[in-house]
Structure 1
Amino acid sequence: MGKKVRVGSLKIKQKCCVSKKRCSSCPVRLLKEGRLPPGYTVHKRKLVTVKKKAKKSAKAKQLREERAKATRTAA
């Protein structure tokens, strides 16, 4: 059984256990049903806050731009 987090009135597992029959606190199932609280999403089967995911994707975008710039100057 995964570690659970209380978000509002819901107890949600932090990570999906990938069982064929989704349990009642599975973040993937709650996202699909639209019952996930605002400010939360699922990324790679893990429950994350929207801010954290946006910050991570912004950092990845910045790294891609730096690499593209480096390859242009090297060529």
Structure 2
Amino acid sequence: MADVKQDHKGEDVDSYGMGNSADPKNMQELTQYVQTLLQNMQDKFQTMSDQIIGRIDEMGNRIDDLEKNIADLMTQAGVEGGDK
């Protein structure tokens, strides 16, 4: 098992260019990958935010409709209601 851990550590350094002699091409690719990843996360966050805001707006409209329907029912029943 000790051999597996030793091999894994060496692969991490080589794969990500973290050694002292980092290849600029690998660093550029890593930077591009991170930028792409962050952009994708930002896009997903924006999509989710838009969906949440849309649902809140829809809920507000439904509450307004409900209030109107309650007021109409109160009027039909002859109950006086004060406007807020």
TM range (shorter): 0.3 to 0.5
Structure of higher RCO (CA pairs closer than 8 Å, 6+ residues apart): 1
Q: Which structure features the higher share of helix residues?
A: 2
Q: Which structure features the higher share of strand residues?
A: 1
| Structure whose CA Rg is larger | 2
TM-score (norm 2): 0.35
TM-score (norm 1): 0.39
